[in-house]
Amino acid sequence: MASYLDRIGAGLIIAHPEMLDFDYVPDELVKREAIQTELASKFTTVGSPDGAARAVITGPVGSGKTVLAKTFCRDLQRHLAGKREIKIAHVNCRNASTSMRVAQRILHQFDPGHPDRGLSLGELLLSLRKMLRRISTHLIVVLDEVDHMLRRSGDELLYQLLRIDEDQDGTGTLSLILISQEQVLDVLETAVLSKFGQSNHLRIPAYSVDELEAIARQRAEIALVPGTWDDGILRLLAERAGTSGDARRVIEYLSSAAERAEFRQDGHTEQTITVDDLHAVNDALATNTTHHLEVVDDLPAQGMLVLLAMCRRLRNEQSMTMGDVERLYAVVCEEYEQKPKSHTTLWKYVKQIEREDIIATRVAAVPGGRGRTTHLSMPHFLPADLASRLELLLPKRLRRS
């Protein structure tokens, strides 16, 4: 009766689905080693009994700000185990967008049973300070998307957290990490800003295509069944997500392609993610909404022939070389009774197609040989769809030319 559900959880392609979740924190953070080192340099004093630190991490969506903070706090706890007791309170200020709610979340992460009804902000922080002193624990508070709280309640909570050791014996009770897409230092009052210091600001750039490929490889290695993916698929995924530089997007593309490969298994198909799986994910994932098939309409006739040659190969392959383009272009020209252009002119058409963001190019080793050559892929379009449109347009365009 329910045989159509048999493939759910079968694990033919996806071995560990939880590791394809955005919130999964991997053992190692790839391609952020220099930033990890910079963040650690701001926490050197935390190793001493009275040391505390603070940092502000900003960057675009999907640049790894949250996972950077989470992996750093986890690794710091392990590093100081037996030397200093470290507790972490990570609060997303999008979900708790007022000072009171954030303070309550901090207290509940440290002591889930602590009452908070009827208590003022000052009373909540006083309770927190007493608990920390009583058990000699250093607390690292991470306020994620802190700009949401700052817009609603200002920076009073930050001011109070930074002053938590005033009028008390000893120091080093609490460290503070702020995370935001925006430049939050610009909206802090002078008293708060002076305690943070401009030197404690870490700006994280968006991921490059190579870095996104490394992220996709890490997730594939830990989440998927060995042998069900290859480097070409990972490169296509990275190129598709490359315009955004968003790590979450490349993970989502990998997850969607793997799920499709999982669900099309019928005992006869090859247990691997194919180009079709990558291109057949739903429209919201597969094609950037800024990319439309009409982009090919303004290409010259010879440019259309070049692109058609690419589409026919990239229907079933992740990438092709310039040598492939030249050979297939000659075949297409013969089919349409056209004289092929020279290598130099062909290259100009390829670069024009690249400028239209229809293809992506990179220089890499020649497959199975020596030297390097240009490799071409089509991360943002379905090659079959483009080919159909080109085959519709070409007869009329060639008659005109």
Q: Look up the pTM and report it.
A: 0.81
Question: Which string of DSSP letters, residue by residue, matches 319-374?
Answer: -EEHHHHHHHHHHHHHHTT-PPPPHHHHHHHHHHHHHTTS-EEEEEEPTTSSSEEE
pLDDT digits (tens, 9 = 90+) for 291-342: 577 889 999 999 999 999 999 999 888 899 999 999 999 999 999 999 999 9
Q: Which fold has domain 3-18+207-286?
A: Helicase, Ruva Protein; domain 3 (1.10.8)
Task: Please state, rounded to an integer, the average pLDDT across all residues of the chain.
Answer: 88
What is the reported pLDDT for 1? 42
Q: Which two tokens stand for residue 192?
A: 């708060």
Q: Does the structural domain 293-400 have CATH classification 1.10.10.10?
A: yes
Q: Are 160 and 109 in contact (CB under 8 A)?
A: no
What is the reported pLDDT for 284? 42
What is the reported pLDDT for 281? 63
Residue 389: strand, helix, or coil: helix
Q: To which residue do tokens 């293809």 refer? A: 359
CATH architecture of 32-203: 3-Layer(aba) Sandwich (3.40)
Q: Which residues contact 295 (CB under 8 A, 6 or more apart)?
A: 356, 357, 358
Is the pLDDT reported for residue 396 higher than 60? yes
Is the pLDDT reported for residue 7 higher than 70? no
* Domain locations along the chain: 3-18+207-286, 32-203, 293-400
Is the pLDDT reported for residue 122 higher than 80? yes
Q: Which two tokens stand for residue 10?
A: 């079968």
Query: What count of residues does the chain have?
Result: 401
Measured between alpha carbons, how far is 179 from 58 in angstroms, rounded to an integer?
Answer: 6
Instruction: Give the DSSP letter of residue 113.
Output: T
Q: What percent of the chain has pLDDT over 90?
A: 60
